[in-house]
Structure 1
């Protein structure tokens, strides 16, 4: 594509064209009155064009380019018509037909151009009495009023005083919230750069919130998020996230979450800017205060630094004891303090401490959602969250939080554990057996599974345990029992998820599959599995897979014979087996193994020959 002309060049071309029309008017010898009328409109247009040339450096260019292009089209039509009024030979005059109607059309077009130019002056001239958001409608936008509103608002953000910038940004946020067409118009008309400037260059929380809200509404589409990335939006967003009032940080964290959700490139860009660090810092704000108070008891006169020093010494002495959160509280607090000072977060420390509990809670919800979306399908981001000791913070909030905050933290843990399942290095680094943070996470996942009666929360907790199945030793039977209990859950989704997770313990890919299979049977897992075979299709499928694994690794168990597992396997729906060829082979293997130990007690069909 040809490079776009400078705005001064476009204005100069329009002025030259208008002067050509003026010259043609002076040379006209027919329809002189009509031509003079055309000339008056052209003079007005030229006057406005010259005024814009003199102050072109302050222009918001989008409406200028659109309106000047329309003005040039109308001037071309006027030039073509007026030239016909110049004296010609007899032959040309016979075949050139001009009517008053032609002049009326051209004059109407020029009047529209005059109206457009006057409207343009009203929104771009910061010295006139009509500065700010202009409510009038230019003729060029008569068929699309939103366009004029967008132009006027963006112009105010570019050049207006701070109150008008805030009002304009809020107007555009409201427009963007309405529908996707409005969002696209705002982006196409250059709305993203002024939003980013308003977010980064102002110290007004209201202005920053208005800008962040607008960007948030625009970010529900991958291409529009790409536009924000192309305008170098990520470094700006991360900087504001690290050092701004809590009300602003809440909206910026929501913006990070939506951008990461809609665009995988945004995930990578936020990783490069290490957005996880300020998010975990904000999420940890006051999270460990109860733990710290419990350690110092009545010695509340000590400063936070003294508390941390005492806890560090004590954690070294008691390093061999089994503390739940204690060894990491000090280091996490130190991380939080250093991050605040390195990022300039101390500028707003006092404001944060004085904020209402509702504002603090909303910020934590937004930060947890942002971490969830950044970690989703990303091993790199999950690794960075664990490196900032985010696991311990998430575990604590799962324990103490509720509602949306608790859910977002569980979903973040689910994504991190899924990444660990697919990446052995992350699994070994973040979820090693002697890691207090890993233990804290597992403890809270088990608590959710055992104590809460909410499928919405139990499902991600069960999935997370399943992702960590390879990290549990054979003696870790405390994990198996709660999962077996949920095979009888009244929620088919929870029951199926429990079967999937237990399947990850019992699969041949798990080195300890035999020990885990025996543990499942010892916890009376066979009877609920048999009932699960009568559930919906997902429950049947995953229940059948788990049952086959138990038969492969513990085929000599009396529990399998008593539950008539062989009959159940032989009676599996052939349509299901035809749909899943691998399942058919697995069922055949299971039948073969059961028959090895219980030959003669049942009929033998679908025998597997190794």
Structure 2
């Protein structure tokens, strides 16, 4: 982004470098050190003005302006250092620009000292032009400093939102507005001003990507995180969470936010806040995990964000205990007690253990009562946001998926899939699907969470089968079918009940659903599945061959998964009369001539399937010749 009026320099520091230390810039200089240079330059200019021999009138005018600059710079030092939490980004930018102008003024005035004839001639010819250039630059620096001082009150606290335009941002008004809003968020003495500033930053970020970049580059993340953690009111914290959510729109932006140690703050606020705020924070987690999955997921896994999300999602959801263990109620209470003890320890509070235990119980009971008194809409919004956050955290993450299964998350998700509809049901199904996909690649997770003798696993599978057959939308049916397919190796040979619903979906009118069913059945019948032979025969017994043959003729989208499934059936059940009646051999031979070029992945599989079918046909003919009817 260009530097407003004078084009001198660029915005070089990212949001990550904005807060190297309180009052310290990326280069390690504090405010006093940075302001000392222009004040020193101002003194040198005044000395040079006193020594000037030519253009005395013009030098005198420069001297007056420089005196005003020096006075305002000293005021800026007092105000910028009056508070340890000062927002110093505009100070550094404006002071750096003023120093450049003072350097030019010093060089010009020094040329007006007594010198040789030739130098005086050159000075006379160029001096007027140079003074006409330097005077407006000094005026602009005075305007910048006047604006800067208006942003800060005399005691160093924010003086409220300032929407006037300093000269440094005359060609880019957004810059000065962002400075003013960030300063108010960080230093504002009025809660209403801080809320308004945070909401305005959220709206600016929502407008376009350039605004987001400016807010991030000008150090807006740290003040927003501070407001989220320690805001004077819930509305202030919600405004901060909304602004951060709008900033988290691509991987680069999310990386900057996470680099500012945002995750521990977010998880802390999520664990212990009113429901309205928890809803907004859960949505923020979804945004971070969506745009920078691996890094965000690992950070949230390290902070164990899954546990409070599952606890919030399971609030008022009846969970039947298959065996004696800690209830969700006791889990939440234990978390509340731990958070309270941690907070009292961190603040250095004193008192006996019994009194602290009593306080924590009172705190928890009060917190629970507040939750129970919330409206149904607020509770529903929180569950939707938590389910979405779990979905995004579990996508491609074995660690977070395992944490969900270890906190009774599967049983909770199953109950919500059964009783809910709409967005909440969708988010829960997508979460289960991602956990199943993770279990497909991790045998330990598959064994620990999806043994069908476990009530939670059985309940989840039952709900997936129900959705796969009676889904309210193709997206839900596809997700449920994909989840069942991902769990193919978790089912024993006796559990063929999951196959028939998938076989029925082979004939679905929607080609996406039919193709997903073929993919899922392929995972049951592939050689890597220990029960592949048994499953292949069960698919044929459930009359899966006729719809499969129709699927192969229905279009390119379904051709590859259909061919793969047919090959697996040929490998494991070539002797089936259903395969012969369907003329599977001819279909595969035709595919070998045409489909291999389009789908090289089946180049090796097709010949094996054809060989098995041919071998069986030859054996059948020999058998009939030896034993004629």
1:31 deviates by 1.6
Match of 1:560 in 2: 579
Task: Work out whether residues 436 and 486 of structure 2, in 8 Å CA contact, stay in contact via their aligned partners in 1.
Answer: yes
- The DSSP-based 3-state class of the residue aligned with 2:591 is coil
Q: CA RMSD in A?
A: 2.1
CA pair 126-415 structure 1, distance change in 2 beyond 3 A: farther
Find 2:73's aligned residue among 28, 49, 54. 49
Whether 1:3 and 2:27 are equivalent positions in the alignment is yes
Q: Does 1:280 pair with 2:343?
A: no
Partner of 1:246: 275
Once the two structures are superposed, the pairs formed by residues 310-325 of structure 1 within 5 Å of their partners are none
**Matched-pair contact (CA < 8 Å) for 1:60–1:124:** no
State the alpha-carbon separation in 2 of the partners of residues 398 and 339 from structure 1: 26
Contact 2:79 2:156 in 1 (8 A): no
CA distance in 2, matches of 1:339, 1:22: 65
Q: Is structure 2 residue 236 aligned with structure 1 residue 207?
A: yes
Distance change >3 Å, CA 518–CA 601, structure 1 → 2: closer
Who is 1:66 aligned against? 93
CA distance in 2, matches of 1:272, 1:233: 13
Deviations 1:367-407 (A, max 9, x none): 01111111111111111111111000111111111111111
TM-superposition CA deviations, 1:1-35 (whole Å, max 9, x none) = 98332211110111000111111111112221111
Residue 404 of structure 2 corresponds to: 385
**Alpha carbons of 1:128 and 1:520: their partners in 2 closer, same or farther (altered >3 Å)?**
closer
Whole-angstrom distance in 2 between the partners of 1:423 and 1:488:
31
Higher RCO, 1 or 2 (CA under 8 Å, sep at least 6)? Answer: 2
Gaps of 5+ in 1: 293-311, 317-326, 603-610
Query: Aligned match of 1:34 in 36, 55, 58?
Result: 58
Larger mean Cα displacement after TM superposition, 566-575 or 483-492: 566-575
User: Which residue is equivalent to 1:173?
Assistant: 202
Per-residue CA deviations over 1:348-369 (Å, capped at 9, x if unaligned) read: 3222211111111111111011
- Determine the C-alpha separation between the residues in 2 that align with 1:416 and 1:220: 25
Matched with 2:169 is 141
Asked whether the equivalents of residues 122 and 128 of structure 1 are also in contact (C-alpha less than 8 Å), the reply is: no
Distance 1:224 1:126, change over 3 A: farther
Secondary structure (helix, strand or coil) at the match of 2:317 reads: coil
Is the contact between residue 52 and residue 59 of structure 2 (CA under 8 Å) also seen in structure 1?
Answer: yes
1:511 aligns with 2:540: no
Return the offset for 1:598: 2.2
Aligned residues: 568
Contact 2:263 2:299 in 1 (8 A): yes
CA contact (8 A) 1:123 1:152 kept: yes
* Separation in structure 2 between the aligned mates of residue 550 and residue 464 of structure 1, nearest angstrom: 21
Which among 427, 433, 436 is matched to residue 417 of structure 1?
Answer: 436
Match of 1:324?
none
Structure 2: give runs of 5+ residues left out of the alignment: 1-12, 14-25, 341-362, 622-629
My pick for the range that moved more, 345-354 or 444-453, is 345-354
Moved over 6 A (4+): none
Does structure 1 retain, via aligned residues, the 8 Å contact 2:80–2:152?
Answer: no
Shift in alpha-carbon separation, 1:443–1:474, aligned structure 2, 3 A: same
Aligned to 2:118: 91
Whole-Å Cα distance in 1 between the matches of residues 131 and 556 of structure 2?
75
Q: Deviations over 1:114-163 (max 9, x none)?
A: 00000000002255999211010000000110000010011111211211
Q: Residue deviations 1:171-218, cap 9 Å, x none?
A: 111101111111111111111111111111125110000000011111
Normalised to the residue count of structure 1, the TM-score between the two structures is 0.89
CA distance in 2, matches of 1:589, 1:448: 35
The residue correspondences of 1:7-22 to structure 2 (distance < 5 A) are: 7-22=31-46
CA separation of 1:154 and 1:581: change in aligned 2, threshold 3 A: closer
> Does the C-alpha gap of structure 1 residues 268 and 147 become closer, same or farther in structure 2, counting only changes over 3 Å?
same
Alignment pair present for 1:78 and 2:74:
no
